[in-house]
Chain A
Amino acid sequence: MPTKRTDRELTIHVGQHRSFEWYWAPKGTMPGLDAYDDLPAREQDDFLASVIHWGGVPPGIRPLQTRINDEHDDPLIVAIKAGKHRFTAFREEHGSTWIVSHHYLKEGQRRDKTGDRAIKRAIAARTDYCRKTSEGTYYERN
């Protein structure tokens, strides 16, 4: 059962070059945070390490592919890695904040249907995010 969240839970990390926050779905849930909460502490730490690493990489420099991977070109969707776990993320339109939306497990060498579905959900989340931030209804819901 998805948990209803508040804006106090949004921010994951504020790095030197990039910041990260969870995607806040229309019903007030944060699917990425729900999945993160279900992970064991070691895997949570692995995810946070990926986020901290990328937050400190200057713009124009590729982050480690063992930590961050491009999953979709247009719009750009990346996967933040934690072992077999992947968290999809997209960038806000004007700024350096990345919104972490959904989770999937990568079992094999190639991305499977579960991964493909997670990417589609991330693209839909991005559309929702961009529309609501331009309308002024995304962060202003409390």
Chain B
Amino acid sequence: MNATEARKKRSSSTLVERTRRDRNRATRIGRLVTEASIEHTLQQIMEIEDVSAAELAKRVKSKPPQISRDLHGGLSKARVSRLATLAGALGYDFIPMFIPRDDLEKRRALLDVTRDVLFKPHTRKRSRQEKASA
């Protein structure tokens, strides 16, 4: 029996589900995951666009250590304007969205579309090829 088969057989709740029953902890975990997601998305865009931290620093007229701080937890305290500036320097728009919490289907669909557009390997490859041919 592998891990998935064993999990299906025991069908108990997960540690994350049990912890999220506490509202305060669910909120804190949600905030931490969102912060990680913003940082991860920015790093992915930098990879897609082949922009180093040093290059990004030059584009936004910051010092490289500031960008390094941004990419290692600093964005959790960043203003919306800072995120917009960084996105703009990478050729992207930063669009804040308000998504209803209860409509899980719409929520997942939206997140899936965003991930597909940004992170699918073929998208990254095309982006690099386009860059090379430009």
Contact = CB atoms under 8 A, between A and B. Distances in A.
Interface of A: 7-14, 19, 21, 41-42, 44-46, 48-53, 56-58, 60-61, 63-64, 66-67, 92, 94-95, 97, 99, 133, 136, 138-140
A97 B2 CA distance: 9
A95 B4 contact: yes
Given A52-B29, A67-B36, A45 B4 contact: no
A14 B13 CA distance: 10
Grouping DSSP codes into helix (H, G, I), strand (E, B) and loop, the B interface class, with mixed when no group exceeds half, is: helix
Contacts of A53: 33, 36-37, 40
Contacts of A46: 32
Contacts, number: 94
Contacts of B36: 49-50, 53, 64, 66-67
Contact of A19 (B4, B13, B28): B4
Contact of B3 (A19, A49, A50): A19
Contact of B1 (A19, A42, A63, A140): A140
B25 A45 contact: yes
Interface residues of B, number: 31
Contact of A45 (B2, B3, B32, B73): B32
Contact of B121 (A8, A45, A60, A99): A60
B1 A11 contact: no
Interface string B26-47: 0011001100110110011000
22 contacts: A7-B12, A8-B10, A10-B7, A10-B10, A11-B15, A19-B3, A21-B7, A42-B28, A44-B19, A45-B28, A45-B32, A49-B29, A53-B37, A61-B119, A64-B39, A64-B43, A66-B36, A66-B72, A92-B2, A133-B3, A139-B9, A140-B1
